[in-house]
Structure formats: C-alpha cells, structure tokens
Amino acid sequence: MGIKSLFGFGQARDKPQDKAADAGYSFLFGRTTSGKPVNETTAMQTTAVYACVRILSEAVASLPIHVYQYKEGGGKEMVYDHNLYQVLHDEPNPEMTSFVFRETLMSHLLIWGNAYAQIIRDGAGRVLALYPLLPNKVDVQRDEKGEIYYVYSRNTEENPNFKQYGDIKLKKEDVLHIPGLGFDGLIGYSPIAMAKNAVGMTLACEEYGASFFANGANPGGVLEHPGVLKDPSKVRESWNAVYRGTNNAHKIAVLEEGMKYQQIGIPPEEAQFLETRKFQINEIARLYRIPPHMVGDLEKSSFSNIEQQSLEFVKYTLDPWVIRWEQSLQKALLLPGEKGKYFIKLNVDGLLRGDYQSRMNGYSIGRQNGWLSANDIREMEDLNPLSDEEGGNLYLINGNMCKLSDAGIFAGQTQQEESEPEPEEKPLENNRKRGKR
C-alpha cells in the first residue's frame, strides 16, 4: 500500500495489485470526533507533540555514530577509513550535517511512521551520499516478480538529484527505508494518525483557551434592562466594542437606564479546563513514551526520581529507536560482502553514565576488581590515554581477590625462607666474633 493512500493523500484501492500491502486506511489522517482536522502540520502546532518530536529527534541526532569491524578472535574496533564513516558521522550530503540529516529523518519517522532517504552510490556500489525523501510523496510497491520498489512523486525542488517531475521509480537498493511500528513489517503507521483523536482534543482545548482569552478572559453574560429595548443589537455591539478583548479586560463598565450585567459563563477552573489540558499533555507524552518531566510536567517528579526516569527514557524509549536505526542502516548501506565484517552503532553509553559521583563509584569498582584499566576509564570520560610507562593499560586487583589454589603462596614462601638453616660460619669469622686473631 502506498503512503499516500495510507494517510489519506490518495484513494484506497479495492483490490491489492502488485503492492507491498493494501487496505483502506484513508481515515487515519483527517477530521476527528472533536471536529478538528489532524495532519502532520496541525499536529506539530501543539506544544506537546512538537516537544516530543523534538526531544526524540535531537536525542537520536546527537548520539555518536561509528562504523565498527569485527576483530579476529573476538572483539571489535572502530574503522575510520570506511566510506560510510564519513557519510554517517560527518556529512551525508553536501547540504547537510550528520545531525541535521538524522534529525530530519527521525522527525519524519515520528510524524509519518516512515523515514526515507535516497542512496547515491558509485560504480562499485559504495555509498557516496544520502538525501532525505518526504514520506508523503513515497509509494512502496511490488513488481510482477515480487520485488519491492519505491515511487517518488516529485513536484518541488527539494532533491537536486531528480531532474524530471512526476513519478520517479527507485530501486530498493537506492532507498534507505526506516519503518516504524506497522502491521505488515514493511510500512510503518503514523503515531499521530493512530492517535488523531487525542491530538484533535488537544487542538480543541488550545483553541478554546485562545478564544476564551480573546473574549477578555471573562465568560459570557447577559445585560438585563428593566424596560423594552428598541434596538438590542446596538447595545450588544456598543458593549463589545468597549469591553471585549484582552486589551479591554478589567475596565470599569458604566451601565445606564437601570441595566444590570449578569454573568452566566462557567469559569475554566470549575469546568476543569486546566486539568483537561494537563491530561492531554500526558496523553501525548504517553503516545511517544516520553517522561512527563521532559515535556515540562513536574507534578510527579522530584530530585530523587528524575534521574531514574531519565535512565528509563534511554532504556525503554530511546534504545528501541536506536536499534531500529542501526539495523536499517546496516541492511541498506552495507554491501553484501561487508555485512559479516562490519556493523554500525549509535552509542548511548554517554546517556547512561548517571551523575558524577555514581560514575566515579562505578569506575572505582571496575578498577579495583581488575576489569577496567586507567585508559578504559579515561576513554569513557573523553580523556587522553596514559602511556604504558604511566600505567595506563595496567589492570590491578585487590590482594584478597585471588584463586583458592593460590591462597597462601606468599605466606608459604616466607615460612620456607625462615626455616632454611643459616650457612656455616668460617673459622676465621668465628674467631673474630670471639675476639681472637
């Protein structure tokens, strides 16, 4: 099924014909039960959605990304001379940095549920550059042989590699596709589209609050007149002209001819308006699995649990996205002969280190128990290594931590040395000790 039909940009088909998947999902983006239309643009106009998308996009974009090679006999080492290192770590294309590229694709993934990038290769198949593709212009399809290919509908100048307009067919080896959660494993579904009613209610709450303050931050009311008014509309218009709007709030009203003002509106606190808005913020944070304190809700946060919530954010929210990125990059960018030798890794260790005191205690335990050297610790703290003469690669262990079979070896050697007989003294030396010559 194409992305355009999935999110309502095109018509759903009755029968699947040479498609990766197909169903009538045009209802996903569109008008909600609250009456507010929800799409990728209106959703990003809510502060909660914008904050969640920004937090996850910037988190993934800021992680160090490296290419590693498996070492013979076990272990790994970072590879700097691989062509993918320059593309992923520094500059995916001449127009973007690595941060901007990953931030853009991650925002696509969080809004549309899919992220696409065009792969530019040389004659040997090695990756030279990566260019983002807008998800709402991409269709995923199958040919008569069952092979997946992509159709990009170009009508603007966002990609310098496309010269013609209209539908452009791209081979699967020329597209980096990172799908989100989906039902068929090929196309991800948009979190915003799946939760459009929650987003629509958030938009409705914001619109209500804006209109409330636009009316002078006062609920509606009636003007009571003891007699009969000949022209009620004139009185209403004159009242609104003087007292309506935030600029006219708290002005003193002057009532003539025995008129009285009777308030009939319900204050927003009594209508639980603020509570509803707060709940909607948590609802959006729940959608993206973001801790509430990261989007500004500190009601249930304290100094004792914020750090733990931040670590849980890395383990349970960020780490699944990181794995999705790593495996998609390896699948699309590494050549078939390289997949058993190299792998791509986004490093989240820096986010899991905790506060300074906790890190130092952990390093101390590792150092004293012999599985961390000084250079291992300095590398994790981004410090320059020490030389071998300075003991940088020396592994130490406490004296009371040794094998049972080695226990008492030092003490046994000492007792043996003490029990050995002293060598016999020569006669001359004996005579000297007795005072004889």
pLDDT band at residue 214 under the 50/70/90 scheme = low
**In sequence order, what DSSP letters do the residues of 415-434 get, joined into one string?**
HHHHHSPPPPPPHHHHHHHH
**Do 398 and 279 share a structural domain?**
no
Q: Which of 162-176, 241-255, 264-278, 279-293 shows the highest mean pLDDT?
A: 162-176
Picking from 359, 362, 342, the residue whose alpha carbon sits closest to that of residue 350 is: 359
Give the tens place of pLDDT for each residue, 67-93. 999 988 788 899 999 999 999 999 999
**Do 321 and 255 share a structural domain?**
no
Q: Which of 14-28, 37-51, 334-348, 386-400 shows the highest mean pLDDT?
A: 334-348
Residues 156-165, mean pLDDT to the nearest whole number: 82
Q: Hey, which residues does 66 pair with through a beta bridge?
A: 345
Q: Using the 3D structure, point to which of 264, 283, 299 is the last residue of a domain.
A: 264
The answer as to whether 361 is a domain residue is no
Q: What is the mean pLDDT of the chain?
A: 78
pLDDT band at residue 183 under the 50/70/90 scheme = confident
**Do 303 and 203 share a structural domain?**
yes
Number of domains in the chain: 3
Alpha carbon distance 104, 98 (integer Å)? 10
Alpha carbon distance 19, 138 (integer Å)? 13
The structure tokens listed for 210 are 């804006």
Domain that holds residue 396: 374-419
Give the tens place of pLDDT for each residue, 98-132. 999 999 999 999 999 999 999 999 999 999 999 99
Q: Hey, which residues does 121 pair with through a beta bridge?
A: 127
The structure tokens listed for 192 are 């915003």
The answer as to whether 30 is a domain residue is yes
**Do 259 and 320 share a structural domain?**
no
Furthest C-alpha separation in the chain: 150
Task: Give the residue, 196 or 405, on which the prediction is more confident.
Answer: 196
Burial 212-226, CB ≥16 within 10 A → b, else e: beebbebeeeeeeee
